[in-house]
């Protein structure tokens, strides 16, 4: 069994200058493809159940799915709750076998965010699993605007919450379909100088691949959340499979054709993070 915590994969990344992919899952087909991609690259992977995933599939079911994949995998697999918004949701994820809880209080005032995130961190650490928090709101393409992370507030947040990883807002946005933008490197370095916790970039699909690699090597950014570009790969493969045979209706045969394209897209994502090969045995 290779089920591990977020801390288990991010601390080596922090020490060795690479990053780990937090790959956003929506169903069995993509999460299985992500694990196969990680195995092909001999690298760890973080399977993430965000709000959209949880709306479709209950947390107890997702926990079993993640753990089953981890039990069969040859590389470290993290079962991660992404954007948990309540204590109850985080408790349910813990009870469902997740090994990492991300509490998102980024829309709330600083002190409230710190207090609530600290409670989730305490809950997680009492169960020997990990906690990620977020300071500075990460907005959405064509939606809510971001509120950039203040380095001094980030330092206080990291110290007072005891999180194992800290998501920051430095020009990144969720659901961005192109890579035309880039991150605010000066702000990242300022946060880096004032903290020693692994940093996380949500909305990583909008970050140019070369910048992902550079930041993984030269800063404390150890985790990039990647969802949109992998969903685009899945959607493209599914559309092609459906359109090439108008008479076909069996969902299993159609979905099967998404596996290789999504696996290949995930391999490309994982490879850019520069993780050294996992030791065997």
Catalytic residues: 82
Structure tokens at 92: 């349910």
Any alpha helices (H) in the chain, and if so which ranges? 6-16, 28-41, 51-56, 59-72, 87-95, 110-126, 151-161, 185-194, 209-218, 228-243, 251-256, 259-271
Structure tokens at 74: 């040859």
Q: Give CA–CA dist 196/159, Å, rounded.
A: 9
Structure tokens at 94: 């813990």
HSE of 103, CA atoms in CB hemisphere, 13 A: 30
Residues paired with 24 in a beta bridge = 48
């Amino acid at each position: 069994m290779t089920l591990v915590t977020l801390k288990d994969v991010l601390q080596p990344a922090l020490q060795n200058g690479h990053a780990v992919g937090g790959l956003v899952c929506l169903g069995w087909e993509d999460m299985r493809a992500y694990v196969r991609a990680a195995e092909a690259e001999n690298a760890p992977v973080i399977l993430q159940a965000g709000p959209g995933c949880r709306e479709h599939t209950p947390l107890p079911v997702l926990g079993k799915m993640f753990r089953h994949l981890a039990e069969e995998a040859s590389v470290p697999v993290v079962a991660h709750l992404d954007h948990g918004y309540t204590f109850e949701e985080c408790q349910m994820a813990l009870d469902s076998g997740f090994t990492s809880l991300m509490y998102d209080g980024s829309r709330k005032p600083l002190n409230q965010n710190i207090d609530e995130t600290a409670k989730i961190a305490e809950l997680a650490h009492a169960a020997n699993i990990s906690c990620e928090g977020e300071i500075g709101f990460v907005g959405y393409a064509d939606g809510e605007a971001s509120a950039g992370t203040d380095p001094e507030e980030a330092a206080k947040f990291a110290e007072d919450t005891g999180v194992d990883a800290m998501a920051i807002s430095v020009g990144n946005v969720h659901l961005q379909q192109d890579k035309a933008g880039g991150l605010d490197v000066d702000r990242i370095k300022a946060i880096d100088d004032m903290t020693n916790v692994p940093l996380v970039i949500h909305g990583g699909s909008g970050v140019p691949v070369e910048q992902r690699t550079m930041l993984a090597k030269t800063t404390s950014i150890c985790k990039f959340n990647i969802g949109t570009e992998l969903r685009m790969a899945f959607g493209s493969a599914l559309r092609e499979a459906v359109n090439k045979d108008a008479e076909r209706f069996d969902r299993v045969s159609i979905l099967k054709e998404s596996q290789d394209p999504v696996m290949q897209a995930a391999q490309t994502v994982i490879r850019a993070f520069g993780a050294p090969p996992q030791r065997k045995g």
